[in-house]
């Protein structure tokens, strides 16, 4: 049956940045379709909150404090997940950051390195570790989360857009490296109304979105779920190296 293509029972997923926003929406969707979930994010207490939501759905959950820009934290997260579940079938590299800056010349080396570290270095290391184990075992799916800034960069997102463009490129590299047993794909979101949007001028954004996007609005977190389930499950068994824009079509 078509619905069986999206079944995830018996599988284990890691979702970085899984304690809020798009990460939380994906983690809960995976659990609703039968997966056990590792929720990894900076603040352990936030991970524990989502873990309780996963357990309420009848699935196992493991909250892990994780800094996406740390090479050693990637190693620790991988080891912790395999020690608990003995397998990982789905990895979602969702953790990211895009801090504001006053001007390009005022971007410090520390800020630049931090943005590249969280958005590119961490996903590279974690994917390398998990993907190698997946390829040596029963296979799996890696889902990177990029940004429309990787394709349509603005002046206020220069390091972030560059890092996410690196994620787009990395997706193709990893798909070639880990195939045929591991599929590696990338979701490219536009503006979503998550916790981050609380810092926006929402009245201004809403007014601008009516003309700036074909769908006339920002996305809601649950609207990322369809693409995530497709890429995580057997429904996408012949899809790898793909970039899937979920962005309301900027004009």
Tens-place pLDDT, residues 198-241:
767 788 888 999 999 999 999 999 999 999 999 999 999 999 99
The model scores a pTM over 0.75: yes
Q: Where in the chain are the domains?
A: 2-246
Q: Contact, 15 vs 38, CB < 8 A?
A: yes
**Beta strand 182-189 pairing with 140-145:** parallel
Interval 158-209: pLDDT, tens: 999 999 999 999 999 999 999 999 999 999 999 999 877 676 778 888 899 9
Check 82, 160, 230, 238 and give the catalytic one.
160
CA nearest to 18, candidates 82, 90, 95: 95
Given this model, what pLDDT does residue 36 score? 98
- Whether residue 82 lies in the annotated active site: no
CA nearest to 25, candidates 3, 2, 6, 53: 53
2-246: CATH, from 3.40.50.720, 3.30.428.10, 3.20.20.70, 3.40.50.12280: 3.40.50.720
């Amino acid at each position: 049956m078509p619905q069986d293509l999206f079944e995830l029972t018996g599988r284990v997923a890691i979702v970085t940045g899984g304690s809020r926003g798009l990460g939380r929406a994906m983690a809960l969707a995976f659990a609703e379709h039968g997966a056990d979930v590792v929720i990894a994010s900076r603040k352990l207490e936030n991970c524990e909150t989502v873990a309780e939501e996963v357990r309420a759905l009848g699935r196992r959950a493991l909250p892990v404090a994780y800094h996406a820009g740390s090479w050693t934290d990637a190693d620790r997260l991988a080891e912790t997940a395999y020690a608990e579940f003995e397998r990982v079938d789905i990895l979602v590299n969702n953790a990211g950051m895009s801090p504001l800056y006053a001007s390009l010349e005022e971007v410090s080396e520390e800020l630049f390195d931090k943005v590249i570290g969280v958005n590119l270095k961490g996903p590279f290391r974690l994917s390398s570790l998990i993907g190698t184990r997946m390829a040596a075992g029963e296979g799996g799916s890696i889902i990177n989360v990029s940004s429309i800034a990787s394709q349509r960069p603005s002046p206020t997102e220069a390091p972030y857009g560059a890092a996410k463009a690196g994620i787009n490129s990395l997706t193709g590299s990893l798909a070639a490296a880990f195939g045929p047993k591991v599929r590696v794909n990338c979701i490219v979101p536009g503006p979503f109304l998550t916790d981050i949007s609380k810092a926006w001028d929402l009245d201004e954004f809403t007014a601008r979105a009516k003309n700036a996007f074909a769908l006339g609005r920002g996305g809601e977190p649950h609207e990322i779920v369809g693409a995530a389930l497709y890429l995580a499950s057997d429904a996408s068994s012949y899809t790898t190296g793909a970039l899937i824009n979920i962005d309301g079509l900027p004009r």
